[in-house]
Amino acid sequence: MKLRLAPVFASALALMIPFAADAETLTLYTSQPNADAQKTVDAFTAAHPEIKIEWVRDGTTKLMARLRAEIEAGNPQPDVLLIADMVTLEGMAQDGLLQPHMSSEAQAYDPALFSADGYYYSTKLITSGIVYNTAADTIPTSWKDLAADNAVGKVAMPSPLYSGAALIHLATLTNDADLGWDYYETLAANQARAQGGNGGTFKAVASGEKPYGMVVDFLAIRNKAKGSPVDFVFPSEGVSYVTEPVAIMSSARNVDAAAKFVDFLLSKQGQDLVLEMGYIPARNGMGVPKGFPARDEIKLMAFDPAAALENAEANKSRFAEVFGVK
């Protein structure tokens, strides 16, 4: 499946950090939040003062639209990408837009979290689980609890037609032998609300509009710490996840600097930075942010980026049909 992307979005923000005139230049496109992107750039340039970074930050969809327009014009700008999900990068790898880098840091990672051919590497884990309002009648422990008879009309979830994380969540759960499409069909029959993104789903649960929801972990855990009347469950079957992977463009002008950037993000130092930002590091043997269970207590469900890419449009179409949405 080839990625089809929209025209350039002129609103993307480009920032340059001043360095000596003879410094190497690395161009980064990232979908990190601005504060996280700045921390990443600052940490890398502190470790590698010989390299300056020019970076553009926007949502993954907008960044990919910008990049595709640049590619069509014969002038792609980034050396390296740090964006939301492995599915997008798997598509780029299949299109010949990425080049392999066999990082020496890969040995510290689960093989499921990076391309075996070295095209991309996960840098963090953002899981999707169950958020519930503390006033709810029962506390769910399983994905199946959201499809039970006593949950009719009580569940909110982001739409995979809108959210990339929700599309990966759909691909993960429908590929599970004990859940599958039967699970989503039951959710639809039980009047689960499926619209918008994770933010809207979280607000529906926090406000008490819906007692249960499916959301990314940090939304619930961080807001719980701030006093929101919610809690978060890592279901017994496991959780789906997005991983903010990093990759080097096949058209990269500064491959050496790009390789150093990839290795830095995967290193212990780079993963300490992920932890400091409040996310679960992808590297084995790391800690977790406050409020999260121990890493070995978090079960990751099986996920195949290539299969998710191949089935993406079919999954969207079937979801729209099951839930009666467009």
Q: What is the CATH number of the domain that holds 204?
A: 3.40.190.10
Residue 82, CB-side half-sphere exposure with 13 Å CA sphere: 26
**175, 308: one domain:** yes
Instruction: Give the Cα separation of 113 and 1 in Å (integer).
Output: 21
Identify the CA nearest to 198 among candidates 175, 179, 221: 221
In a domain, 1, yes or no: no
pLDDT at 23: 66
**284, 206: one domain:** no
| pLDDT above 60 for 319 | yes
Ranking 60-64, 248-252, 288-292 by mean pLDDT, the lowest is 60-64
pLDDT at 21: 43
For 190, counting Cβ atoms within 10 Å of its Cβ (0-12 exposed, 13-18 middle, 19+ buried), the class is: middle
**205, 118: one domain:** no
Structure confidence by residue, pLDDT tens digits, 251-308: 999 999 999 999 999 999 999 999 999 999 999 999 999 999 998 899 999 999 999 9
Structure confidence by residue, pLDDT tens digits, 164-204: 899 999 999 999 999 999 999 999 999 999 999 999 999 99
Question: Is residue 2 very low, low, confident or very high in pLDDT (cuts 50, 70, 90)?
Answer: very low
Token digits of residue 156: 């909110």
**130, 223: one domain:** yes
**177, 29: one domain:** no
**265, 132: one domain:** no
**169, 262: one domain:** no
Beta strands in the chain (DSSP E): 13-16, 24-30, 51-57, 80-82, 98-99, 124-133, 155-157, 193-194, 212-216, 230-233, 240-242, 246-249, 280-281
Q: Please state the rounded mean pLDDT for residues 154-172.
A: 95
pTM beyond 0.75: yes
In a domain, 8, yes or no: no
pLDDT at 5: 39
In a domain, 5, yes or no: no
pLDDT at 326: 73
| pLDDT above 50 for 3 | no
- For the chain, how many structural domains are there in total? 2
Q: Whats the size of the chain, residue-wise?
A: 326
Identify the DSSP state of 21.
T
Structure confidence by residue, pLDDT tens digits, 16-58: 334 444 568 999 999 999 999 999 999 999 999 999 999 999 9
Instruction: Give the Cα separation of 107 and 263 in Å (integer).
Output: 12
Its domain, for residue 119, covers 13-123+243-292
**86, 131: one domain:** no
pLDDT at 17: 38
| CA end-to-end distance (rounded Å), the chain | 21
Structure confidence by residue, pLDDT tens digits, 217-242: 999 999 999 999 999 999 999 999 99
Share of the chain above pLDDT 90, in %: 90
Instruction: Give the Cα separation of 174 and 129 in Å (integer).
Output: 15
Query: Which residues face 124 on adjacent strands?
Result: 281
Identify the CA nearest to 129 among candidates 275, 277, 292: 292
